[in-house]
Structure 1
Amino acid sequence: MSKFDDIRPFYDTEVNDALRKVARDPIMKAVMNFTFPDMTDEEWIQQLYKTHSIRDFQINFIYHAINMVLNKSSDGLTTSGFENLKPNTAYLFISNHRDIILDTSLLNYSLYKNGFKMTTSAIGDNLVKNPFLLTLSRVTRNFIVKRGLPSRELLESSKLMSEFIKDSIMHENRSVWMAQREGRTKDGNDATHKGVLKMIAMAKDGMTDMEYFKRLKIVPVSISYELDPTDILKMPELLARSKTEPYVKNPNEDFVTLRSGIMGQKKGIHIHVGKVLDDEIDDIVLKHPSTNKQLQALCDIIDEVIHANYRLWPTNYIAHDLLYQSNQYNTYYTADEKEAFEKRLYEGVDTSDEMAVKHFLAMYANPVTNQTALKTSQA
């Protein structure tokens, strides 16, 4: 028994048995019929039965599924920054988080295409309550983040997760993907939560936090979608928050969001991989004597790199101009693009609700605001 058994992905020795158990699940059938429309069910099932490792499953099945998603629901994926990475080196990728499944899937797709090992990735247990989805997550090298625990159990769970991250990077030489915060950014304002860094640092074993973070090789990742297929789905929670009202998810909400994110139209998608935060961490240590201020400074630097390298799309500029009733960025989009975005707004949002309109526009406009603020501060 491994101490990580409760949260870890499958070992390769467990993959074939796991796939055999879910091969005829209706969700697996739907995924495979989408991915391989020219294959009979028996053909892809036989291929599954011959699969004995996570890597084989990712390359022979998931890679093709992502290709189909990109072909059917986007204008394509572009990437930058992968020249910053070294082969056979494990990193801690800390990323902004917009889509439940695609953020980490697209990063792994890009890592594989660029000749790097794929990551092990964090996923909330609220997303894998369905037994099939739990199996699929473990056979695609996800580890489980337990949500909603009492304080004592949360502390123990955080320690275990921190040790798993350390073991993956330092002993297995396997990169780890983590979102910069718990849950997706719903308002477009990407910000790293200090609690995430505190959790990661729990396994530092005698090192200072900053020494440990240097060992983990933190790489900020920016991912941006021209259209968010779940933008309208986010509105009830954003409105509840603005009214300081509690928000309770519908029982099937996560699954609907997951499916909409995968199949909904995204237009352009871009992933930028930053450089390892090495000199930056040295500077933090020189400037900030207290651990708390060092952690906040590291959050700020991760945010700066994510904001600076976030690909801005016409939708972002249009939303910013509409939100602030200006034409400041009208050279970045066409009249047709503006008309299409306004149609999306009018069809999806009750435009008589001023707060709803502002939240929808801010979701797309905030990346422009953040990048502009960063450029101003650095001028």
Structure 2
Amino acid sequence: MTVDSDPYHDIRPYNDAEVPASIERLINDQEFIDAIVNHRFEHSPRWLSSLLSPLVKIFLRFKWRKFKTVAQIQNEVGVFMESLLQRTSQGITVTGLDKLDPSRAYIFISNHRDIAMDPALVNFALHRAGHETALIAFGDNLLKKPSATELLKLNKGFVVNRSAKAPRQLLKALTQLSNFIKDSLTSNQSIWIAQREGRAKDGMDKTDPAILKMFYMAGKQQKLEFSEYMKSLNIVPVAISYENDPCDLAKANELYQRQELGSYNKSEFEDIDSIIQGIIGNKCRITVGFGEVITADFATPEALAAHIDEQIYANYQLYPVNYLAAKEDCADITQACRDRFAAKLAELPESAHPYLIANYANPVKNAR
């Protein structure tokens, strides 16, 4: 298929035929190689890092030469995730997935706490259970580095155009995205998408009805009723719970500056930094709770969004730190838990404490 005949060329993930060239571009991306060297050998002198760079390229070319298909990369990502979670968590619990049919395609709408780990955990749970992994929606704000684009599109990522502002440009982008999602489902390919744009930095998991309106654009073209079309999408709400959020201090500081100081200056590559911190940071226990396929009739996006929220709240795993932050009784709150939370608060200005507390306390309030 040529670029001209592929209506989704600019937003879709890479296919099997595009994998080798993408890997070659990554290996030849000096900035990407330097990032690996600087992370892996961060305490080495600079002169040694410059010598290591060609060796890393040789190593990657040898290690990645076997990857010819998207499925092979997904298997490798599964191995990486297994190792990563052993190093950065106390384990992952998956609930509700046994109720889903591995032969069907779904739209998984999850709460959004971590840029990279949220979809990675959903796909890891699917992969481990023998389901086909989902295509991953990510904003074009993450495409500032060429290597990020390559890695995301190699890993079944598709682009959500957030930079379109002009009404006609925005309508075109949303229509393309809606049709891409529908065509993916028709091809028996599941989708993961966050319930809102941007992470929930205050612990309030709320579905943005605009996401559902975007889904419906393809249905509207077919002159289908909202409720009828949405039932055809096999929407499954998913709740992702981290006992410890590696980015919690940064989130609290951002909210503090925005709301108390009036502004927050986001650095150019702050999203990339958040991705790295979310991946390598300690997450303690993790739970991924898959909800029920939505089959009821909902006449409006707002009504459907409220139902998605209800399922996410019902499947969200509350940990002792959540009850501690909410000042509610929980027999499992240990002194170690209190000390860890106190140490977090001590790293922030006192005026910023309420924002960190809210990040952990609000899921308890939502569960009522």
Specify if TM > 0.5. Answer: yes
CA-CA distance at 1:28 after TM superposition: 5.8
1:1-379 aligned at under 5 Å gives the runs 1=3, 2-25=6-29, 27=32, 41=56, 42=58, 44-60=60-76, 62-152=77-167, 153-170=169-186, 172-204=187-219, 205-243=222-260, 245-278=262-295, 281-282=296-297, 284=298, 291=299, 294-321=300-327, 328-346=328-346, 348-351=347-350, 353=351, 356-372=352-368
Q: Deviations over 1:172-211 (max 9, x none)?
A: 2100001000111110000000111101110001111111
Structure 2 unaligned residues grouped into runs of 5+ = 41-54
Amino acid at match of 1:360: L
Matched residue type, 2:82? N
Structure 1 residues 243 and 344, CA gap change in structure 2 (3 angstroms) = closer
Superposed displacement of residue 246, structure 1: 4.0
Note the alpha carbon deviations across 1:296-347, whole angstroms, 9 max, x for none: 11111100000011011111111111xxxxxx3242311221122111221x
Is the Cα–Cα contact under 8 Å of residues 317 and 332 in structure 1 kept in the other structure? no
CA drift at 1:368:
0.5
Aligned counterparts of 2:134 and 2:176: Cα–Cα separation in 1: 18
Q: Structure 1: how far apart are the matches of 2:163 and 2:20? A: 32
Name the SS for the 2:81 alignment partner: helix
- In the superposition, relative to structure 1, how do residues 329 and 194 fare at CA in structure 2: closer, same or farther (>3 Å)? same
Deviation at 1:248, TM superposition (A): 3.2
Aligned residue for 2:367, secondary structure, equals helix
Query: What RMSD, in angstroms, separates the aligned Cα atoms of the two structures?
Result: 1.9
The alpha carbon displacement at 1:244 in A equals 8.3
Once the two structures are superposed, residues 146-193 of structure 1 have per-residue CA deviations (whole angstroms, 9 ceiling, x without a partner) of 1132132122111110011001001x2100001000111110000000
Specify whether residues 244 and 342 from structure 1 end up closer, same or farther in structure 2 by C-alpha distance, changes over 3 A only: closer
SS at match of 1:270: strand
Matching residue's letter, 2:212:
L
% identity of equivalent residues: 37
Deviations 1:39-70 (A, max 9, x none): x854552231221111101212x222212221
8 Å CA contact 1:23, 1:29 repeated in 2:
no
Q: Which letter maps to 1:303?
A: D
For residues 246 and 155 of structure 1, what CA distance do their matches in structure 2 show? Answer: 30
2:65 maps to amino acid: Y
2: distance between equivalents of 1:11 and 1:209? 32
Whole-Å separation in 1 of the counterparts to 2:10 and 2:149:
12
The alignment partner of 1:148 has SS state of coil
User: TM-score, normalised to structure 2's length?
Assistant: 0.89
Note the C-alpha offset of 1:236.
Answer: 3.4
Going from structure 1 to structure 2, the CA distance change for 1:52 and 1:189 (only over 3 Å counts) comes to same
Q: 2:119 touches 2:192 (CA, 8 Å); kept in 1? A: yes
Alignment gaps of 5+ in structure 1: 35-39, 285-290, 322-327, 373-379
Distance verdict in 2 for CA 1:151–1:244, change over 3 Å: farther
What is the deviation of 1:101? Answer: 0.5
- In the TM superposition, what is the alpha-carbon distance from 1:230 to its structure 2 partner? 0.5
Equivalenced residue count is: 344
Distance in 2 separating the partners of 1:119 and 1:29: 30
SS in structure 2 of the partner of residue 318 of structure 1: helix
Alpha carbons 2:252, 2:353 under 8 Å: kept: no
**Counterpart contact for 1:201–1:209, Cα < 8 Å:** yes
Give the counterpart letter for 1:3 in structure 2: P
User: Residues of 2 paired with 1:236 and 1:117: CA distance?
Assistant: 38
